[in-house]
Every structure is written in C-alpha cells, then in structure tokens.
Structure 1
Amino acid sequence: MVYPSFYERYRAAIRNTWTVEEVDFSTDLRDLRERMGPAERHLIERLVAFFATGDSIVANNLVLSLYRHLNAPEARMYLSRQLYEEALHVQFYLTLLDTYVPDPVAREAAFAAVENIPSIRAQAEFCARWQAPMAGLERLESAEDQRTFLLNLICFAACTEGLFFYGAFAYVYFLRSRGLLHGLAAGTNWVFRDESGHMEFAFEVVDVIRRESPALFDDALAAQIVEMIEEAVDCETEFARDLLEGTAHRVAGLTVADLRGYLEYCADQRLVRLRLPPRYGAQNPLSFMALQDIPELANFFERRVSAYQNAVEGSVALDVDF
C-alpha cells in the first residue's frame, strides 16, 4: 500500500457512520413557530436553500474530477466513502426542507435557489469557474493540466468546504447558542465532522502532490490560490449580507462584520495549511465557533453523542501489494 494514511482515513470515516433518522426535529418546529421572528426565519430559509444545492455541487465535482484523476486505490476508497457521505448530507438537507418548508411552492423555490437567489447563484458560479476547466481533461498530461487539477482540488477543499460550508455552520451554531433548532444543530455536528474530514483528506492529497511534484508549487500557483480564497471570502460575505440584512428586521446578536471576520480567520487557516502566509491576520470573533474544536460531551442515554464511533475490526499489512 503506497498511501496507507488514505486507507486509515477511510477506516476512520466508516467508524463515524450516522443516519438522518437519528436526528430529532421535534423541538425545531416549535422554535420556528413560537420562538423565531421574521429575521431568523429568513436566515433559516436562505440557509436551507444553500444546503439544498451546496453538497450536490461538491458531489458532482467529486465524481467528475477528483475520482477520475486520483487513481491510487487507497485514495479512491476514501473518495467512495466521501461520496456516500455527500449523499447522506443531501438526504439530511432534503429532510430539513420537508420539515422546515412544508409549502410545496416555497420548497420548489428553495430547490431553484441557484437561479433565483443572487447570493447563492454567485456561490454556484464561483464553483463552476473552477470546475469547468476540468471538464475536458481525460488525463493530466502536462504540468499545466496538473496545476488545473490542483486549483480545482484546493477550491473545493479550502473554499467550498472550508469557507462556504464553515460559514453556513456558523449560522447554525449561532442559533444553537440562543437555544434554538437543536435538531438542526445535532445533524450539523455530524455533517461538520464529515466535511472537516473531507477537507483534511484533500489537503493531504495536496501534500502528497507537493512531495512528488514540487515544481508545480511556484509563485504563480500561490498567487492564484490567494486570489481564489479572497474571491471566496467576498462571495460568502455577500451571502452573509443576504442572510443577516435581507429583511427589515436584522438578526440580533450577529452582524455581517462578525461573519466577515470569521471567514477571514478561516481563510488564514486554509492558507497556512497550504504553506502560504496568512492574508488577513484575523482573529475568530465568534466565541461559539471556538467551541466546535472540542468533542461534544452528552449524556449517552439522553441523546446520541456525535463523537461516537462504530468499531471496525481487522488489520492491514503495509508490506504487500495493494
């Protein structure tokens, strides 16, 4: 086995299996009816509309680009598991739509968010720009082809999963910090864990490529990465403005400046992980997000602990052909 760490990531993902049926939305409906005002409901409707399309975009790129060109068997094992998790996330978000948006007309509008909500359309167009160059590449024949693939991989790790989804998770945990939508937060814990694993796998692939083809990582590539991440931060900031200032009543306790600061903080982390200097020098302004690095503690008999892992039996030899 040439890349045993990819195989270990696959095993870890298997241990972290969860199902949508375990998420209890019973208190969420009461919160939506009785405890949330127009501004909060606008936020959640926009957020669910984003979720309904975001993971589908990631899954499409996973199949059309990453699996095609990452041909190490161990990497493809992990990518196959990731595709299952993306499908699970889509199921979770569809369940959110059914639960939170019972009106068929409103639900159809949420599905069409890419066409009729400018802030979500901008996110999709950003992803499409970095996905489109991969469409005609059957093989990565040249260094330029390999750079195109690298930029696609980094876009979906650092920007789509590492900024767009991290920004979306921040709204969920903000609402949880106010005692709202515990079902959404519980499911998001598991999605957050999955997405963090996807991002770290992609960054590890970048590390391997850097080791095996260091000439690809020149100043021009670094400049493109910084430009990409800056654009993603600006794009997600506009989404924040839509969510938090899109109604006559702004969401109390959370501002666009707060979200912008958090996005800049995340962007610096992504750049450092890619061995580039931080761009913003930002600190995390959202104290409730700092807690997400701590494994959740819960009474096992009251609710399912999101950090729970299923056992995987067996071992792997590292001195034989895969």
Structure 2
Amino acid sequence: MALAETPFLEEELALSPAPQPVSAAAPAKGRILDPGFKLTLRPMRYPQFYDMYRDAIKNTWTVDEIDFSDDLVDLERTLLPAEKHLVSRLVAFFATGDSIVANNLVLNLYGHINSPEARMYLSRQLYEEALHVQFYLTLLDNYIPDLAEREAAFAAIDNIPSIRQKAEFCFRWMNSMDDIEECDTPQQRRRFLLNLICFATCIEGLFFFAAFAYVYFLRSKGLLNGLAAGTNWVFRDESCHMNFALEVVNTVRSEEPELFDAELSEQVTTMIREAVDCEYQFAEDLLGQGVPGMSVGDTRRYLEFVADQRLTQLGLPKQFGSKNPFSFMELQDVQELTNFFERTVASYQVGVEGDVAFDEDF
C-alpha cells in the first residue's frame, strides 16, 4: 500500500515566530501534518494532491441538470409501501450525512493538513460537499411536499434511531480531534489518522456506498431515475474524496511509519467492524418492511464485502471474506472504483454534451 516517496524539491518556506520576513532557511520537517505553515505551491512537495485537485475541477456538475419529474410519478404510482419506506429513510440520512462530512472537513481536517496542494483539493472537496447538500435538499423538497414530514426528515438525527446511531458513531470516532490545535505528538497524529480513516473508509467509503447500493437497486428496476442521475455524480465525487484521504494516509505512512503500529491497526479494525454493525442496523430499518429483491442478509454480505475492500486499501487483513451479492452493483464494483477516474475523464467534465450513460464502466 505504501506510496513511492516524493523527494523534496527545495527547502520549504517557514513562518518565523517573530514578525520578520519569511525565511527559506528552515529545513522541511518532512511530514504532511507539519504544524508549520507553508504558503506557496513552489516548491511543490506533494504534486499528487495538486493532480487530484486538477482532476476534481473536471468533475463539475450542477443540481439543475437533474430532472426529478419521473421520480414523482414513481413515488405516487409505482413504488410499493416497503420501497417508499426505504426511500424515506434513505433521503432522511442524506439530509444530514454530507453536513457531518463537511463540518469535519473544516473543523478537524483542514487545519492539520498544511500542504497547500492538499488544501487546494480540500477546498474543492468542501465545494462538492456543499453541492451534495444542495442535491439532497432539492431531493427532499421534491420527494416530500408535506412540510411537517420534510421537517421530520431534516431532524432524522434526533428522531430516527438507526440514523441517530450512525451519527453517534461518526461523532465518537471523529470528535477526538476537537481539543487538538496542532498535531505535535505521535499520539495526537494517531488521533488525526483515526479521524481521517473513519471519514474515508467508514462514512464516505461504507455508509455512503451502502446508500448508493439502495439507489442503484431501485434504478435496476427502472425506478427513480432522477435520484440515480444525481447519485451517479455524487458517487464519483465521494470515490475521489475517499481516494484523496487514503492518499493522505499513505503519505503519512511513508513519512512516519512508526505511527502505524499494532495498536492503531487494532483500533482501525475495530472501527470498521463497528461501522458494519451500525450500517447493518440501518439496513434492517430500511428493509424491515420487506423490499422484494433486496434482503437484509444480502445487504449484510455487501457491507462486509465493502469493509474488506477498505481494510485492504489500508494494508490491513480482511475480516469477513464475503462476496458481492448484488449483481446490479457489478458496474459500480468498489474494487474498480479506486481507479475509475483515469478511465473516464473525457466523459465527466464541464463542456461535455449529451446524456450520461448509467452503464459506463467506471
């Protein structure tokens, strides 16, 4: 998993503690979590993050491109009561999920990743998280015309136990960074890594991947094409976000391998196991009324399959050994998504005309 180290091109600029001109004489500390502050992109120490930023710019889409009109017909005339319950729970999760991600991005991650190249990507990611929030807001406004029901959906973190449990999981693993101003010690940097790994593998890489599976299941039945269209773009964004975070983890691993000890590995494995259990309880809620074609047991196996992929990406042993039970997810196989962008840049950027096919190999 370890990345090839990128050699430092020149000594890094450092801010003097006294009100003096910036000095170029201070040696680079050699870690991306350096509590110092680098102001310029030259010399570029981490070009891989700048490349990710440039790729992300090509991912631009807007909520206005999504047509929900057919979805409203499906909701009113086609969906079974159990499917409507699934959709209701799903959009309630969407209403708060990306806000949790965005808040953590600003409050806990940005301040500790001082590479200007990486901060450029994080700035772009924050825009994309806001775009996702807009998408879900528009989704709820279209799907739930009743104001009281819509208000309840936005308060799902308080009134739907399965969603509240997911939020509590997020806060428990990520809020340990709240009292850390600078990652000066190995213990503090490990806490940062736990936050980042939870953010990448459990929230974006498991909770949202599971949510997308429900959407693609409905799409496989010809339902809710507007939701599927927006999810297609969000899915790609979230995959890039996850890959960026894992690249940060691997960069830290190459620079400070001593941080990745047996205790951290055990904590990460425990975290991901807890995430699977947490998401499984959400699945029991979504599918509890009996959705034809999608069983709770198969969903559990899918969650375990995805979790094993995340562990592998972190260089840790698989815990479950489950196979992907969902044939409708074959084109969105989580193993393939790690490299999807290199194959599809031309089909996913500003200025592209025509329809986006849902059966692309990405």
TM-score (normalizing by structure 1): 0.91
For structure 2, the residue ranges without an aligned partner over 5 or more in a row are 1-43
Q: 2:226 pairs with 154, 165, 183, which one? A: 183
In the superposition, relative to structure 1, how do residues 301 and 274 fare at CA in structure 2: closer, same or farther (>3 Å)? Answer: closer
String of CA shifts for 1:93-143, please: whole Å, max 9, x gaps: 000000000100000000100000000000000000012210010001110
Q: 2:129 pairs with 86, 94, 100, which one? A: 86
Identify which of structures 1 and 2 has the higher relative contact order when contacts are C-alpha pairs closer than 8 Å and 6+ apart: 1
Structural mapping, 1:114-125, within 5 Å: 114-125=157-168
**Shift in Å at residue 37 of structure 1?**
1.3
In the superposition, relative to structure 1, how do residues 301 and 17 fare at CA in structure 2: closer, same or farther (>3 Å)? Answer: closer
Matched with 1:255 is 295
1:99 and 2:151 are equivalent in the alignment: no
Q: 1:71 pairs with 114, 125, 131, which one? A: 114
String of CA shifts for 1:290-321, please: whole Å, max 9, x gaps: 11258799xx876245899xxxxxxxxxxxxx
Q: 1:140 pairs with 183, 197, 201, which one? A: 183
Inter-partner Cα distance in structure 1 for 2:154 and 2:67? 23
Size of the alignment, in residue pairs? 304
Matched with 1:319 is none
Q: Secondary structure at the match of 1:263?
A: helix
Conserved in 2, the CA contact under 8 Å of 1:190 and 1:306?
no
**Shift in Å at residue 174 of structure 1?**
0.2
Q: 1:168 pairs with 186, 211, 220, which one? A: 211
Matched with 2:355 is 303
Matched with 2:151 is 108
Conserved in 2, the CA contact under 8 Å of 1:27 and 1:182?
yes
Matched with 1:314 is none
Matched with 1:315 is none
1:192 and 2:232 are equivalent in the alignment: no
CA-atom RMSD in angstroms: 1.8
Identity %: 65
Matched with 2:17 is none
1:36 and 2:76 are equivalent in the alignment: no
Matched with 2:319 is 279
State the one-letter code of the partner of 1:86: E
Inter-partner Cα distance in structure 1 for 2:235 and 2:177? 27
Inter-partner Cα distance in structure 2 for 1:26 and 1:209? 46
Matched with 1:21 is 64
1:221 and 2:273 are equivalent in the alignment: no
Matched with 1:131 is 174
State the one-letter code of the partner of 2:147: P
Conserved in 1, the CA contact under 8 Å of 2:156 and 2:163?
yes
State the one-letter code of the partner of 1:120: I
For structure 1, the residue ranges without an aligned partner over 5 or more in a row are 309-322
Matched with 2:196 is 153
Conserved in 1, the CA contact under 8 Å of 2:140 and 2:150?
yes
Q: 2:307 pairs with 267, 274, 277, which one? A: 267
Conserved in 2, the CA contact under 8 Å of 1:262 and 1:285?
yes
String of CA shifts for 1:248-273, please: whole Å, max 9, x gaps: xx100001111111110000000000
Matched with 2:246 is 203
String of CA shifts for 1:235-260, please: whole Å, max 9, x gaps: 00000000000x3xx10000111111
State the one-letter code of the partner of 1:223: E
State the one-letter code of the partner of 1:106: E
String of CA shifts for 1:75-100, please: whole Å, max 9, x gaps: 00000000000000000000000000
Conserved in 2, the CA contact under 8 Å of 1:69 and 1:139?
yes
Inter-partner Cα distance in structure 1 for 2:178 and 2:73? 45
Inter-partner Cα distance in structure 2 for 1:144 and 1:301? 50
Conserved in 1, the CA contact under 8 Å of 2:215 and 2:227?
yes
Conserved in 2, the CA contact under 8 Å of 1:222 and 1:276?
yes
Inter-partner Cα distance in structure 1 for 2:58 and 2:184? 37
In the superposition, relative to structure 1, how do residues 306 and 136 fare at CA in structure 2: closer, same or farther (>3 Å)? Answer: farther
State the one-letter code of the partner of 2:247: E
The worse-fitting range, judged by mean Cα deviation, of 280-289 and 192-201 is 280-289
TM-score (normalizing by structure 2): 0.81
Q: 1:5 pairs with 22, 44, 48, which one? A: 48
Inter-partner Cα distance in structure 2 for 1:144 and 1:302? 51
Bigger-Rg structure (1/2): 2
